[in-house]
């Protein structure tokens, strides 16, 4: 393994450790706020954060495999990392659709959450920074799993936009259906994340486009 590749792997480690720290905070605040205010949008955002936390953990494992055993041994870890993330995201999409359907059927609303609003606002620039850096490192390493993880971060940033928009609408409109409808608006992003992780392009040619 070349020194340049080793350096890029160490950069990837640093990015994943930052992701682990941020996603732990994001998941705890979003899920806690979602449960407290009966907000499916916030709860789903928090669960997505947990999935990205799991994805980051798997990425650390995949990078460790390469450092210890070389690039050739990382192929299976690469595919496993991508498939695990994809399966979890598809499950989240199903959960959101079922939960939104139930809330619409029962005409259940949600309350505004200041803590949820703050975490959503902070998530937007955080996810932008991490995702951009991960894409750069993924291209250098030719890592499909790292690229999928970066795209999940991009989708998380868009989910944060949905969360912030939903909470603002909840505050000013106050309609009971806002939370359920906003949560359905997240499904497209979640499924896109899942497909990217499950069917991600092969980056062995060093190009992840």
Q: What residues have CB less than 8 Å from 97, skipping those under 6 apart?
A: 184, 187
Is residue 112 within 8 A of residue 37, CB to CB? The reply is yes
For residues 165 and 199, what is the distance between their CA atoms, to the nearest angstrom? 30
The structure tokens 């939960």 sit at 99
Residue ranges covered by each domain of the chain: 3-199
The tokens for 135 are 């894409």
- From its phi and psi, is residue 204 left (phi > 0), alpha (psi between -120 and 50) or beta? alpha
**Contacts for 71-74: CB closer than 8 Å, 24+ residues apart:** 71/1, 71/5
List pLDDT tens digits, range 6-28. Answer: 888 889 999 999 999 999 999 99
Both tokens of residue 62?
A: 């995949």
Query: Whole-prediction pTM value?
Result: 0.82
Tallying the residues shown for the chain, one arrives at 209
CA–CA gap between residue 60 and residue 56 (Å, rounded)? 6
Which CATH number is 3-199's, of 2.40.50, 1.10.287, 2.60.120, 1.20.1510? 1.20.1510
71: pLDDT confidence band, cut at 50, 70 and 90? low
What pLDDT shows up at residue 202? Answer: 45
Q: Give the three-class secondary structure for 70.
A: coil
User: Hey, which of 64-68, 83-87, 96-100 has the most confident mean pLDDT?
Assistant: 96-100
């Amino acid at each position: 393994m070349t020194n340049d590749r080793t350096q890029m792997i160490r950069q990837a480690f640093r990015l994943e450790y930052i992701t682990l720290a941020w996603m732990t905070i994001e998941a705890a605040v979003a899920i806690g706020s979602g449960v407290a205010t009966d907000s499916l949008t916030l709860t789903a955002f928090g669960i997505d954060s947990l999935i990205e936390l799991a994805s980051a953990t798997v990425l650390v494992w995949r990078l460790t495999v390469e450092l210890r055993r070389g690039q050739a041994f990382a192929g299976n870890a690469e595919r496993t990392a991508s498939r695990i993330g994809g399966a979890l995201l598809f499950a989240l999409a199903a959960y959101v659709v079922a939960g939104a359907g139930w809330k619409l059927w029962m005409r259940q609303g949600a309350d505004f959450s200041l803590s949820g609003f703050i975490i959503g606002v902070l998530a937007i620039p955080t996810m932008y920074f991490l995702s951009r850096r991960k894409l750069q490192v993924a291209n250098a390493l030719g890592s499909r799993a790292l690229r999928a993880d970066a795209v999940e971060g991009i989708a998380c940033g868009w989910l944060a936009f949905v969360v912030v928009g939903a909470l603002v609408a909840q505050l000013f409109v106050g309609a009971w259906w806002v939370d359920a409808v906003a949560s359905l608006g997240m499904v497209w992003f979640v499924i896109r994340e899942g497909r990217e992780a499950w069917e991600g392009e092969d980056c062995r040619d060093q190009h992840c486009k």
